[in-house]
Amino acid sequence: MHRLVIAAAAALTVLGGTAFAQETIKIGYIDPLSGGGASVGEGGLKTFQYLADEINAKGGILGRKIEILPLDNKTNPQESLVQAQKAIDAGARYITQGNGSSVAAALSDFVTKNNTRNPGKEVLYFNYAAVDPSLTNEKCSFWHFRWDASSDIKMEALTSYMKDVPAIKKVYLINQDYSFGQSVRADARKMLGAKRPDIQIVGDELHPLLKITDFSPYIAKIKASGADSVVTGNWGQDIALLLKAAADAGLKVNWYTYYAGGAGGPTAIKQTGLDHQVFQITEGFANSGHQPAMDFEKTFRAKVNMSLWYPRAVNEMRMFKAAAEKANSLDPVKVAAALEDLKFEVLDGGEGLMRKDDHQFFQPIYISSFGKLAANEPFDEEGTGWGWHLVSKVDTSKTTVPTTCKMTRP
């Protein structure tokens, strides 16, 4: 009898071990898949599914395949918490999200509290696009890592470029009315004031997030102000519809943007006829000239039928794999420790660093303009025949900003 018990226990151990080895690494993808943010959310989902397939084709992470769990948060913080709990209940120890800093703040707080209540079952939150600086300052968390440059890093680079453009005399600010949009307007005012005090801010508008379907009244105000340039952090349909309204009204100004390259943006820019007058700041772009990134772009487009909006998602997933292999573990606590101060060759070339102090990733930053393509620029956007062209590059060492983060560690 005793031998039978031992044999059965041994068999269960073997079966259990096999089952464990076959378990996937579940990552809860929590972003809008319906409503005004659906276009960017769906693009992000396709990107993460592609990246999971890429890693799985090479053996996965520590022998286990990745599974992306799509979860629609409708760009709503409260709904995001419901979806995060669903992810955890389904076995996810990792979640990723990017669209909406108000969502990100809610998720970071939720994950921190969850991990306090559930030692041994911790969850890590990988943020690929929510850029409110507070997330890596006063609201920082050990369980949150951000791969996109924060809003103040982007504005520092953007205004450093703008200060050397003498034609800029009058600037209009238009942004979404929530924490991220408010940080863009505040940083623009502060940094332009310090670097080019002669520039006039002739308008400063906040509008509801993803609620406006007709931006023509806002465009009329911009025209009436006499602005020669517009600064905006708008994303999703809010940048596409804003540019479309500008095209319809024949507004001819320069645009300094964070996310003009998102869904619908390039088509709207082409309609404006503004050839290389719309600028975007990113961590990479299709025509960057870095051959491995351009090879990736070609393969990605062939399979997914869209351009790569999120080079940072590539960096996130590849660094997740590198950190897990460094830790030789998929335990979120050990992966988090391995990510801290991890240096990594980013997709578009150059070394990035995940700063231990606040879990903000630093990497080369590019300013590009949208317009007619040069002979060595093979990628257009949305079938317009126009694409992104390098204007300026900021090396990693020059993107560093201080942090006030006082991180509590497990």
- How many C-beta atoms surround the C-beta of residue 257 within 10 A? 24
Whole-angstrom distance, CA of residue 355 vs CA of residue 401: 11
What is the rounded average pLDDT of the residues 240-247? 95
Q: Is-contact 31 37, C-beta < 8 A?
A: yes
Task: Indicate the residue type of 222.
Answer: I
Indicate if the pLDDT at residue 137 is higher than 60: yes
Render pLDDT for 247-289 as a digit per residue (tens, 0 to 9). 999 999 999 999 999 999 999 999 999 999 999 999 999 999 9
pLDDT for the residue numbered 6: 41
Torsion of CA 205, 208, 214, 220, to 10 degrees: -10
Residue 7 has pLDDT above 90, yes or no: no
Confidence (pLDDT) at 22:
64
Q: What angle do CA 43, 47, 50 make, to 5 degrees?
A: 140
Mean pLDDT for the stretch of residues 178-184: 94
Against a cut of 0.95, is the pTM above it? no
DSSP state of 406: -
Domains of the chain, each with CATH number or no CATH: 25-149+293-362 (3.40.50.2300), 152-282+365-398 (3.40.50.2300)
| Higher per-residue confidence, 158 vs 12 | 158
Quick: pLDDT tens for 155-164: 999 999 999 9
pLDDT of residue 36: 87
pLDDT of 19 > 70? The answer is: no
What is the separation, in whole angstroms, between the first and last Cα of the chain?
A: 45
What is the C-alpha separation between 409 and 166, in angstroms, rounded? 47
Q: Side by side, which strands form the sheet with 66-72? A: 66-72, 25-31, 94-97, 124-127, 144-146
Q: Specify whether the CB–CB gap between 72 and 33 falls below 8 A.
A: yes
Residue 10's pLDDT is: 42
pLDDT tens digits, 193-224: 999 999 999 999 999 999 999 999 999 999 99
Tens-digit pLDDT profile for residues 44-90: 999 999 999 999 999 999 999 999 999 999 999 999 999 999 999 99
- Check pLDDT > 90 for residue 17: no
